[in-house]
Amino acid sequence: MSTAASLHDVHSHTGHDAHHEHHHHHETFISKYVFSQDHKMIAKQFLVTGIIWAIIGGLFSVIFRLQLGYPDQTFPFLEDFLGHWAKGGKLQPDFYYALVTMHGTVLVFFVLTAGLSGTFANFLIPLQVGARDMASPMLNMLSYWFFFLASVIMISSLFVQTGPANGGWTIYPPLSALGDAAEGSKIGMDLWLVGMALFIVSSLLGGLNYITTILNMRTKGMSMTRMPLTIWALFFTAVLGVLSFPVLLSGAILLLFDRNLGTSFYLSDIYVAGKILPNEGGSAILFQHLFWFLGHPEVYIILLPAMGMASEILSVNSRKPIFGYMAMVGSMFAICILAFLVWAHHMFVTGLNPFLGSVFVLLTLLIAVPSAIKVFNWLTTIWRGNIRFTPGMLFAIGFVSLFISGGLTGIFLGNSSLDIHLHDTYFVIAHFHIVMGVASFFGMFAGVYHWFPKMFGRYLNNTLAYIHFWITIIGAYMIFWPMHYEGLAGMPRRYFDYSNWESFKMFAGLNEFISTVAMIVFAAQLLFVFNFFYSMWKGRKVRTQNPWGANTLEWTTPINPGHGNWPGEIPEVHRWAYDYGKDGKEFIPQTTPVGHDESEH
Amino acid sequence: MNTVATVKRNKIHPHKFTLWVAIGSILMMFAGLTSAYIVKRNQANWVSFEIPKAFWYSTAVILLSSFTLFLSAKAFREREMTRYRSLMAATLVLGVLFVILQVLGFKELTKIGITFTGNVSFSFLYVIVGIHAVHVIGGVIALVVMSLKAFSQKIRTYSSVPVELVSTYWHFVDILWIYLLVFLMFIK
């Protein structure tokens, strides 16, 4: 039944809800797999699209790592499929920048935003709060298709003559505003901006739905404080997205006008390609403010879902209640607020007023407090737990490890005085790749391994999963740990070739090592991709409704739930989601009423 | 799949709630633009401008349209369908008139040398007013859909939710316009 119909009969249809699921027997291939309005199918669409994007984005990094690791060698096979961008088997500098830019854009937005919250918010919110679907399945479907359209446009920019955007994923003007300034600032940049605008629309449509569903559509008894932490995390993620993406959109629109209509929002006093431009009165720093006002919340948009899923998976597989549930919620709330107040720590060296800088230092370092609370709670959750080392659990533990090691370097970078030395070096690269990139990827993998049985009714292969885990975690540290040393030695990011620099020649061996490990880790991810698609059809079938012995509502649905999730009434919730090892019982699902002889948590 | 009807204990309809969150989101976009405007204004090379007369007329028009839409929603709730139809049509006409007046305002500006690509302050004026106008056009499209439904012989509507959704959005763009006008009037 369509949303339009539901608008009209909302008042008349309250008496016989239980029969609604019998209405949808006219599913065609198109309505079931393509233009689906079922949140579970939309989640899978996001996940598969995200995986494809992750392969593309990861491959980009392998290609530019070839240049960084082996600057004096040529790779003729690159010319075969990159053409004039790798003339004679050597990457052209312009295309190297394009690869770096697209690697960042693809992974930050298309994989770790859409692929991560798109997948798990869609999949888990209705299942875990006890709703038949999202508040507006129609908007939800549009959210995916806007994302798809954004993907098509972003991919198409790889095939234009002048190449994709190459001004870095932060696309600072004036470089990104002037077609004469770089090859990638020609049509590739316009495609980037249009693709991102559509992406923002997709995120907003998704976010609206997530917030409304969580606040409005919870089942009977599911009070806010009984919600699993995954839902809390996805809720804060959506709030961050809804409040910060519009600001990026306004920044992007102004940039589009500067590029194409001759305005001067970001441009002033510029001499490029032998010409003096007429633009006057603009401010390039203005763009950075608008960009980072989104850009900083964005890192929490990426990280929070991983935090939520790790919390849930750690608790389930330790067979212990989560430690400090309210502290977890409170610290996520604190992170959410602080996320909006720290953007200028990306701009310490732009000529920012040092006094203002010190305020941002304080606010930035404050984030360490909720982060430390969360880490403490994760560690105390698994402390003396009856741990089952499922692949999901391993990745969740790996997430905590990476969050600690990446988070600590954030304290270095958050100091404006240290930042004078460290900004734009490999230290920054190491920091954000560990804490935001790899950590969130681990959260995502944990989620995929944990909820795959619910998504497809089959298990992933465990042996492949363990190989995947160990190669990835050891590899991630081997790639990014040495980068800290390079950064402390002052090696700048975004350089094409370090062998020309006396100061950085000594890192040639280290760079080669990093590149080699990066290739091995990339290959291990292909193992995961194989496992994913193979197990989708050929994996071991799930035989029990609740394979992990978890308390949350999604495991009360049939093994392969249809549209509407529960065949009968939506179950009622009587307790919080973390009654593990309580009163001599291993686990007590949320649907079990609180007995006379037990106290409510 | 009717997902909305299954929820009984809501105080607020989920679609209305979604709209409120969306309004918050739109507000953030204008907060971004207006704060960029303030930052820019405090820097060198800012030229102030006068607000064209057409914008004042358009203000009167959109206020009036909010009023007619309010009466229209009231008529709908009282099942006065004839009154509802004519008031909805009147709102639509006023909405279109607002957009036309905005365009005339821009023409007026261009005539006195305040062009889109002139000083950055002019660009901001165009962008802020223009993006608001785009949101109004979105509302006008919603009003067209509502009017078509109202005048259609085939569709019978009983739920007041669509009318209330359109009303909320329309009043929002109205208030947003007043805010922007006051903002541009005092900070220029």
Tell me: the pLDDT tens digits for A475-516?
999 999 999 999 999 999 999 999 989 999 999 999 999 999
Spell out the residues 6+ positions from residue A259 whose beta carbon is closer than 8 angstroms to its own. Answer: A176, A177, A178, A179, A189, A190, A193
**What are B11's two structure tokens?**
């105080």
- In this complex, is the C-beta atom of B10 within 8 Å of any C-beta atom belonging to chain A? yes
Q: What is the pLDDT of residues A86-137, one digit of tens each?
A: 988 899 999 999 999 999 999 999 999 999 999 999 999 999 999 999 999 9
Q: What is the pLDDT of residue B10?
A: 52
Average pLDDT value for chain B: 89
- In this complex, is the C-beta atom of A82 within 8 Å of any C-beta atom belonging to chain B? no
Cβ contacts of A289 on chain B, cutoff 8 Å = 36, 39
pLDDT band at A26 (very low <50, low <70, confident <90, very high): low
Chain B stretch 129-168, residues whose beta carbon is closer than 8 A to a beta carbon of chain A: 131, 157-159, 161-162
Q: What is the pLDDT of residue A25?
A: 54
CATH code of the domain in which A164 resides: 1.20.210.10
Judge: B14–A136 Cβ closer than 8 Å, yes or no.
yes
Instruction: State how far the Cα of A458 lies from the Cα of A261, in Å rounded to an integer.
Output: 54
In a domain, B27, yes or no: no
Helices (H), A383-461: 391-413, 416-422, 426-432, 439-456
Size of interface A-B (CB pairs under 8 A): 168
Contact between A42 and A117 under an 8 Å Cβ cutoff? The reply is no
Judge: A281–B44 Cβ closer than 8 Å, yes or no.
yes
In a domain, A17, yes or no: no
Question: B137 to chain A nearest CA, in Å?
Answer: 17
% of chain A with per-residue pLDDT over 90:
82
Out of A235-239, A410-414, A491-495, B156-160, pick the least confident: B156-160
Q: What is the pLDDT of residue B113?
A: 86
**What are B83's two structure tokens?**
């009154």
In a domain, B159, yes or no: yes
Q: What is the pLDDT of residue B158?
A: 79
**What are A505's two structure tokens?**
């020649």
Q: What is the pLDDT of residue A153?
A: 96
Judge: B3–A212 Cβ closer than 8 Å, yes or no.
no
Q: Which helix (H) or strand (E) holds A353?
A: none
| Residues B147, B149, B151, B156, Cα dihedral to 10° | -140
Q: What is the pLDDT of residue B102?
A: 94
Closest-CA residue of B relative to A6 is B2
In a domain, A230, yes or no: yes
Q: What is the pLDDT of residues A177-232, one digit of tens each?
A: 998 888 889 999 999 999 999 999 999 999 999 999 999 999 999 999 999 999 99
Out of A123-132, A278-287, A501-510, B63-72, pick the least confident: A278-287
In a domain, B13, yes or no: no
Cα dihedral sign, A15-A17-A19-A20: positive
In a domain, B7, yes or no: no
Q: Which of B152, B50, B174 is nearest to B105 (CA)?
A: B50
Buried b (16+ CB within 10 A) or exposed e, B135-157: bbbebbebbeebbebbeeeeeeb
Question: Which of B3, B106, B132 to mutate to probe the A interface, most A CBs <10 Å?
Answer: B3
CATH code of the domain in which B169 resides: 1.20.120.80
Q: What is the pLDDT of residues A144-158, one digit of tens each?
A: 999 999 999 999 999
Instruction: State how far the Cα of A453 lies from the Cα of A117, in Å rounded to an integer.
Output: 19
Spell out the residues 6+ positions from residue A551 whose beta carbon is closer than 8 angstroms to its own. Answer: A316, A577, A578, A579, A580, A587, A588, A589, A590
Q: Is the pLDDT of residue B5 over 90?
A: no
- In this complex, is the C-beta atom of B42 within 8 Å of any C-beta atom belonging to chain A? no
Q: Which helix (H) or strand (E) holds A570?
A: none
Cβ contacts of B169 on chain A, cutoff 8 Å = none
In a domain, B91, yes or no: yes
Question: B61 to chain A nearest CA, in Å?
Answer: 27
% of chain B with per-residue pLDDT over 70:
94
Of B6, B116, B119, Cβ closest to residue A261: B116
Q: What is the pLDDT of residues A533-572, one digit of tens each?
A: 999 999 999 999 999 999 999 999 999 998 889 998 999 9
Cβ contacts of B157 on chain A, cutoff 8 Å = 8
Cβ contacts of B16 on chain A, cutoff 8 Å = none
Question: B99 to chain A nearest CA, in Å?
Answer: 21
**What are A555's two structure tokens?**
């495991």
Cβ contacts of B32 on chain A, cutoff 8 Å = 246-247, 250-251, 290, 293
Question: Tell me, what DSSP letter sits at residue A175?
Answer: G
Average pLDDT value for chain A: 91
**What are A243's two structure tokens?**
């409040």
Q: Is the pLDDT of residue A8 over 60?
A: no
Q: What is the pLDDT of residue A211?
A: 95
Q: What is the pLDDT of residues A405-435, one digit of tens each?
A: 999 999 999 999 999 999 999 999 999 999 9
Spell out the residues 6+ positions from residue A529 whose beta carbon is closer than 8 angstroms to its own. Answer: A51, A55
- Give chain B's domain count: 1
Of A17, A213, A253, Cβ closest to residue B5: A17
Judge: A242–B28 Cβ closer than 8 Å, yes or no.
yes
Question: Which of A208, A291, A569 to mutate to probe the B interface, most B CBs <10 Å?
Answer: A208
Judge: A11–B158 Cβ closer than 8 Å, yes or no.
yes
* Range of the structural domain that residue B160 is part of: 50-186
Question: B102 to chain A nearest CA, in Å?
Answer: 20
In a domain, B141, yes or no: yes
Cβ contacts of A20 on chain B, cutoff 8 Å = 1-2, 5-6
Q: What is the mean pLDDT of residues A314-341?
A: 96
Instruction: State how far the Cα of A480 lies from the Cα of B156, in Å rounded to an integer.
Output: 63
Judge: A20–B6 Cβ closer than 8 Å, yes or no.
yes
pLDDT band at A30 (very low <50, low <70, confident <90, very high): confident
Closest-CA residue of B relative to A241 is B25
Closest-CA residue of A relative to B162 is A7
Judge: A136–B15 Cβ closer than 8 Å, yes or no.
yes
Judge: B159–A564 Cβ closer than 8 Å, yes or no.
no
Cβ contacts of B131 on chain A, cutoff 8 Å = 250, 253
In a domain, B26, yes or no: no
More confident residue, A181 or A450: A450
Q: What is the pLDDT of residues A41-55, one digit of tens each?
A: 999 999 999 999 999
- Give chain A's domain count: 1
Any idea which residue has 């029990």 for tokens?
A544
Q: What is the mean pLDDT of residues A265-294?
A: 89
Q: Is the pLDDT of residue A11 over 70?
A: no
Q: Is the pLDDT of residue A255 over 50?
A: yes
Q: What is the pLDDT of residue A286?
A: 92
Closest-CA residue of B relative to A290 is B32
Judge: A254–B31 Cβ closer than 8 Å, yes or no.
no
Q: What is the pLDDT of residues B73-109, one digit of tens each?
A: 999 999 888 999 999 999 999 999 999 999 999 999 9
pLDDT band at B72 (very low <50, low <70, confident <90, very high): very high
Q: Is the pLDDT of residue A59 over 90?
A: yes
* Range of the structural domain that residue A289 is part of: 36-587
Q: What is the pLDDT of residue A268?
A: 87
In a domain, A4, yes or no: no
Of A20, A220, A246, Cβ closest to residue B2: A20
Closest-CA residue of B relative to A284 is B40
What DSSP letter does each residue of A445-484 carry, written as one string? HHHHHHHHHHHHSBPPPHHHHHHHHHHHHHHHHHHHHHHH
Q: What is the mean pLDDT of residues B54-76?
A: 94
Strand duo A580-582 + A271-272: pairing: unpaired
Chain B stretch 77-106, residues whose beta carbon is closer than 8 A to a beta carbon of chain A: none
Greatest Cα-to-Cα distance within chain A, rounded to the nearest angstrom: 84
More confident residue, A84 or A234: A234
Contact between A327 and A373 under an 8 Å Cβ cutoff? The reply is yes
